[in-house]
Amino acid sequence: MKIHDQYRERVNSCLDSYLSSIPSSPNSDIELRDIMKYSVLAGGKRFRPILTYTVASLFDSEIEKTDSCACAIELIHIYSLIHDDLPAMDDDDIRHNQPANHKVFGEAHAILAGDGLQALAFSIISSDPLIDADIKIKLIDILSSSSYTMAEGQLIDLSVVSKKVDINILKQMHQKKTGALLNCSIKLGAVLHNANENDVSILESFANHLGLAYQIQDDVLDVTTPDNLLGKRQNSDAVKNKPSYPSIIGLDDSIKTFKNLYQNAIDELSHLSVKSDPLRLLTNRLMSRTF
């Protein structure tokens, strides 16, 4: 089994454990933790926690110390998806090849599930006995500021529907809405194990290229990939009149752009003070992904 698949299995197990440990609510008709589980355990690429594990492995082999950060970043990501799918936001009814959370449990319960996941993300880092208190403060600061930036990106996304926008506006939106959490995933893995400032700076530059590449690639896959493989509606951007890289610069140039960005990200890794082969391998796998 490839190491990245092992990371995926590990984070799935940890997420299940964290959610199952939430106390039950005897006075409620439905458990909030079950609504949260519905979305969290539905599958997904787990790219963000895999990034956190991979970066952490460059500096330290103590994988148990990385579990809470890996889970926290995925919980923030899933909370954002639950809220993004709501009718007041992106209005999507399919996520990970199953009905969106609000289609099953209702909008109010979906909002609460997202709220619960956000709170749990910070809780599992703050209560992790393996992480020193001063490092916890840094990690929580990174996670909270990245979450806010992600929300800013979603605001831009909502504001540009049915509008013609400059490519720089779209780039800014992607860097915030998608790039912020990818950057966070990488920084958590580095800061957790006290990487030096120069390595953190290099990884930030790597993350900036990677985050934009990933989202432009998503724009391309939205056009080229069928529903059953994509896990959501194909051509959803076009249906909603949302600007995308393919709609502005064309499909072929979009493909060239994200491949160049991935290559720029890989080039940054040569400057690290540690061997970066696992991160280089992961980046190459991402470049060739089909969903």
3-class SS at 62?
A: coil
Whether the Cβ atoms of residue 227 and residue 234 lie closer than 8 Å to each other: yes
Whether the Cβ atoms of residue 53 and residue 186 lie closer than 8 Å to each other: no
Q: Where are the beta strands (DSSP E) in 211-274?
A: none
232, pLDDT greater than 80: no
Res 228: pLDDT: 64
Res 24: pLDDT: 85
49, pLDDT greater than 70: yes
Q: What structural domains does the chain harbor? A: 3-287 (1.10.600.10)
Alpha helix ranges (H) inside 225-250: 227-230, 236-239, 245-249
Res 265: pLDDT: 97
233, pLDDT greater than 70: no
In whole angstroms, give the CA distance from residue 113 to residue 217. Answer: 29
Res 231: pLDDT: 60
Q: How would residue 181 be classed by pLDDT, with cut points 50, 70 and 90?
A: very high
In whole angstroms, give the CA distance from residue 253 to residue 18. Answer: 43
70, pLDDT greater than 90: yes
Question: Which pLDDT tens digit goes with each residue over 243-279?
Answer: 899 999 999 999 999 999 999 999 999 999 999 999 9
